[in-house]
Structure 1
Amino acid sequence: MSIKTILGYDIVPGVSEEEYEAWLFDVHAPDLLANPHLDKIVFNKVLRPVTQASGGTADVPEGLTFYRIAEMYYADEEAYQRYLAWFDENPLPKDRGPGGRTAFRFYLVTESTTVTR
């Protein structure tokens, strides 16, 4: 069983995409990957929602936006708990963390099942 956290977020107003991207890949991702209990991160940049008007089947609530949906992978629930404990012992300095940059919309812990051909 694989555990994954899924985060949906926007950029805080006043932070440019260029500033955010530089911080995300040059500072934040390396800080997260310093934690030995995190296996990988997948950053999905949202291009657009799929709505009934654009040929899909879902309606997106007005005003609901996401800049990215991020996926963080862990070997199992115990690895996720060790990940949290590691950051309790090794907190990120406030100037390197997401505060003031990232507007989280949701943060979920999930059990992942992959289906392939």
Structure 2
Amino acid sequence: MIKTILGYDIEPGVSAEDYERWLFEVHAPDLMANPHIDRIIFNKVLRPVTTTSGGAASVGASTMFYRIAEMHFADEASYADYLAWWEDHPIPAGRGPAGRTKFRFYVVAEPTVFER
């Protein structure tokens, strides 16, 4: 599995209520129409953390985000297919994140998972 991880804020002038409505009623369904994505996890950030578990280290000034989202893909080929799919099926103007989402970072990552 690989995933994209993106941190973002809401663009100034967009209310949280309008953003949430657009995100879950418009944007998430548009994204999930792409058959190459397995799932999306929307992590709404509640607060920053300034120290590690047990106080072993100080994080310093924490950065705050509105949300950190994850999009999961089976592998690199699936992610490449996901990107290519949008070339033939673009999100219509006015439905995408432009003017709503202020991206702070967007990376492709390979997770290593430890579970109980």
Q: Same fold (TM over 0.5)?
A: yes
Q: Which residue of 1 aligns with 2:14?
A: 15
State the one-letter code of the partner of 1:91. Answer: P
Q: Which residue of 1 aligns with 2:110?
A: 111
TM-score normalised over the length of structure 1: 0.91
State the one-letter code of the partner of 1:8. Answer: G
Q: Which residue of 1 aligns with 2:61?
A: 60
State the one-letter code of the partner of 2:32. Answer: L
Cα deviation, residue 112, structure 1: 1.2
Q: Structure 2 unaligned runs (5+)?
A: none
CA distance, structure 2, for counterparts of residue 66 and residue 99 of structure 1: 17
Contact 1:31-1:92 at 8 Å conserved across structures:
yes
TM-score normalised over the length of structure 2: 0.92
Q: Which residue of 1 aligns with 2:92?
A: 93
Moved over 3 A (4+): none
CA distance, structure 2, for counterparts of residue 116 and residue 51 of structure 1: 25
Cα deviation, residue 81, structure 1: 0.2
State the one-letter code of the partner of 1:111. Answer: E
